[in-house]
Amino acid sequence: MPEATFLDASELVLNMGPQHPSTHGVLRVILKLDGEKVMGTECVIGYLHRGVEKIGENRTYQMFAPYVDRMDYIAAVSNGLGYCLAVEKLMGLEAPPRAQVARVLLTELNRIASHLFWLGTHALDIGAITPLFYTLREREEILKIFENYCGARLTTHAFRIGGLQYELYDGFEREVKALCDWVIPKIDEYEELLTSNRIWVQRLKGVGILNADDCKAYGVTGPVLRAAGVKWDIRKALPYSGYEKFDFEVPITHNADTYDRYVVRMVEMRQSVRILRQAVENIPAGPIIAKVPKVIKPPAGEAYVSIESPKGELGYYIVSDGSTQPYRLRVRPPSLINLQALDRMARGCLVADIVAIIGTLDIVLGEVDR
Amino acid sequence: MVVTPWQNDLTVELKEAFGDQILELSTGLGQDYLVAGPESVIAILEHLKLEDEYDYLVDITAVDWPDKPERFELVYILYSFARNHRLRVKTRIAEGSHPPTAVGVHLTADWLEREVFDMFGIEFDGHPNMKRLLLPEEWQGHPLRKDHGILQMDNRWVQENMGIDSGQ
């Protein structure tokens, strides 16, 4: 056997996480490296597994509603919306128009908050500290609206099955309008800081490419899919909660890399503001909750309902046996399924790019592990 | 849930291709689903992907019905971008049977089948990496089975690895 020289390839297995600042929680990635080059990855997940689906089978429909907020805690309002819509589908209910518009308002506010948090932490991972302080400052204003509305900032439990529990508070419309006017210049400011920043562009362009065919093969949805040029958003494709009434664009880009996902999310925030402006001008009067029985017992049957959460397709598959508790409750988490594509995206990249790729997938480990 | 027969061009085509292997084509709550024998599910998924553009596997999950002779119901949720339509493919399998894997058709199935194995103990034949996804590898028990209590856990594992004597 020839003697090894320093030019020979030698495989090195490196453990990253679970306690690593840029894995956004307790994600462990085992990297197989050849020097700086990533030959393969394996994700070890489940550190945050709480058995949400099992809990769901052992709680009544109303009792389970606050639990869903603990999955994607960055976008808790979206989780709640998906769950309420799924139970309403089983019961044959529809929230009244006023509740639907309020739901759209709060969900879009949450989408902006989620994207802001993503932008700050993603930039932090890349090495830009400033955006984090800016984005969290802006996110705080949105959380204040949530707090004024329902008393909670993160795990809001904002919606109830059939509509809303609380009427919109005095000054809600004014605050949302003020936020819309205030946040757009802020987004411009982030773009000034980042969009053509040389370090930002060089760290992100061409990194973690996942083209449209791969996205479909791996079931990847949300901004990652749209950055690959697929114009698909559940709010447009299969509208729910009255999204068909609002005028907004679904942004797409074609390079399918980490930079393009940044561009898509920035445009999505602007589009969310557009939806907010339309919704806040036309909040219908009327009741905020449909006629919902005190004891919720959906007829036996099953339904799959999904929404466009900030991360991608968030689905609930609920099987009812006619009792007060779901017989089976399955959550289709976008973070888990998007994370599966990490290996495909990371192969051939450098170790430093792994941090960028985990960041661009926008995973929340609470939702990955449930 | 009021279940009505599901009939359109697609169902006619599927009936032609698979005949008796498709046991039921129905619509409930406006959502279409088909029930097929476990041996033909992968062929149906492949047919739907290649011929009918159902190219996005949304989810795989299972439902446990301990009192029925075929205990587990496997559910594959599919979506077609071209048709903007979602459908479910369902099949029933007995305890201990090993359904074939869908990884060869949809790469998404990798982790989803591992999760089904983790939670229900259903092993998929031909899966490249059939091990637990969320729980530790040495863990005993499959928590989403109906005979698994909500407070029940693998006490031995907890004692050995966490150093908690009671196991709770």
Task: Delimit the domains of chain A by residue range.
Answer: 51-332
Q: Do A317 and B56 touch (CB under 8 A)?
A: no
- Report the CATH number at residue B74: 3.30.460.80
DSSP, res B125: B
Considering chain A, what percentage of its residues have pLDDT values greater than 70?
A: 98
Place of tokens 């800016």: A134
What is the number of alpha carbons within 13 Å of residue A327 lying toward its C-beta? 19
- Asked if pLDDT for residue A185 goes beyond 70, the answer is yes
What is the interface pTM, i.e. ipTM, of the complex? Answer: 0.90
The answer on B74 and B15 residing in a single domain is yes
Interface test with A, best of B56, B76, B78, B114 (most A CBs within 10 A): B56
Instruction: Tell whether the model's pLDDT for residue A108 goes beyond 60.
Output: yes
- Count residue pairs from A and B with Cβ separation < 8 A: 90
The neighbour count for residue A134, using CB atoms within 10 Å, is 17
Q: Are residues B28 and B90 in the same domain?
A: yes
Query: What pLDDT is attached to residue A265?
Result: 92
Q: What confidence score (pLDDT) does residue A35 get?
A: 81
Residues B124, B142, single domain; the answer is no
Percent of chain B's residues with pLDDT above 70: 98
Same domain, B167 and B117: no
- The per-residue pLDDT for A7 is 56
CATH topology of domain A51-332: Cytochrome-c3 Hydrogenase; chain B (1.10.645)
Residue ranges making up the domain that contains B150: 135-168
Each residue's pLDDT tens digit, A163-179: 888 888 888 999 999 99
What does the alpha-carbon distance between residue A139 and residue A137 come to, in Å, rounded to a whole number?
5
pLDDT on residue A4: 54
Task: Count the Cβ atoms, other than its own, within 10 Å of residue A60.
Answer: 14
Q: pLDDT category, B9, cuts 50, 70, 90? A: confident
| Cβ-count burial A304-337 (b if 16+ within 10 Å, e if not) | bbbbbbbbbbbbbbbbbeeeebbbbbbbbbbbbb
**Which residues on chain A are in Cβ contact (under 8 Å) with B63?**
319, 327-328
**Range in A38-42, A136-140, B36-40, B155-159 the model is least confident about:** B155-159
Q: What is residue B79's predicted lDDT score, i.e. its pLDDT?
A: 92
Which chain B residues are Cβ-neighbours of A44 within 8 angstroms?
Answer: none
Chain B, 84 to 123: residues with Cβ < 8 Å from chain A are: 84, 86, 88, 106-108, 110-112, 119
Q: How far is B17 from chain A (nearest CA, A)?
A: 24
* B105 and B160 inside one domain: no
- A334: nearest CA partner in chain B: B58
A25: pLDDT strictly greater than 80: no
By DSSP bridging, strand A11-16 and strand A19-20 are: unpaired
Tell me the shortest Cα–Cα distance from B152 to chain A, in angstroms.
11
**Residue A330 and residue B61: Cβ atoms within 8 Å?**
yes
Check whether residue B82 and residue B118 sit in a common domain. yes
| B139, B84: one domain | no
Do B119 and B77 belong to one domain?
A: yes
> Would you tell me how many other CB atoms lie within 10 Å of the CB of residue A361?
28
Instruction: Among B75, B111, B143, select the one facing A317 at the smallest CB separation.
Output: B75
**What are phi and psi for residue A282, nearest 5 degrees?**
-130, 60
The partner residue sitting opposite B81, judged by closest CB among A55, A232, A302, is: A232
**pLDDT confidence band for A3 (50 / 70 / 90):** low
pLDDT tens sequence across A142-171: 999 999 998 888 888 889 898 888 888 888
The verdict on a CB contact (< 8 Å) between A315 and B77 is yes
- What's the pTM? 0.89
Both B9 and B65 in one domain: the answer is: yes
User: For residue A319, is pLDDT > 90?
Assistant: yes
The answer to whether residue A27 scores a pLDDT higher than 60 is: yes
Pairwise CB contact (< 8 Å): B58 & A328:
no
CB-nearest to B144 from A53, A336, A337 is: A53
| Structural domain total, chain B | 2
Predicted pLDDT at B3: 83
- Mean pLDDT calculated for residue range A28-51: 88
Of A51, A55, A340, the CB nearest to B111: A340
Are B144 and A230 within 8 A, CB to CB?
Answer: no
CA dist A119 and A113 (Å) reads 10
Cβ burial of A268 (10 Å; 0-12, 13-18, 19+) is buried
Of A265 and A6, the structure prediction assigns the larger pLDDT to A265
Confidence at A337, pLDDT banded by 50, 70, 90: very high
Which residues in chain B have their CB less than 8 angstroms from residue A58's CB? 150
What is the reported pLDDT for A6?
Answer: 57
Using pLDDT thresholds of 50, 70 and 90, give the confidence band for residue A1. Answer: very low
Chain A residues within an 8 Å CB radius of B111 = 336-337, 340
Averaging pLDDT over each range in A12-21, A30-39, A311-320, which range is the top one? A311-320
Same domain for B106 and B167: no
- Look up residue A294 and give its DSSP letter: S
B61 vs A: CB within 8 A:
yes
- B29: chain A residues, CB-CB within 8 Å: 89-90, 92, 301-303
Indicate whether B167 pLDDT > 80: no
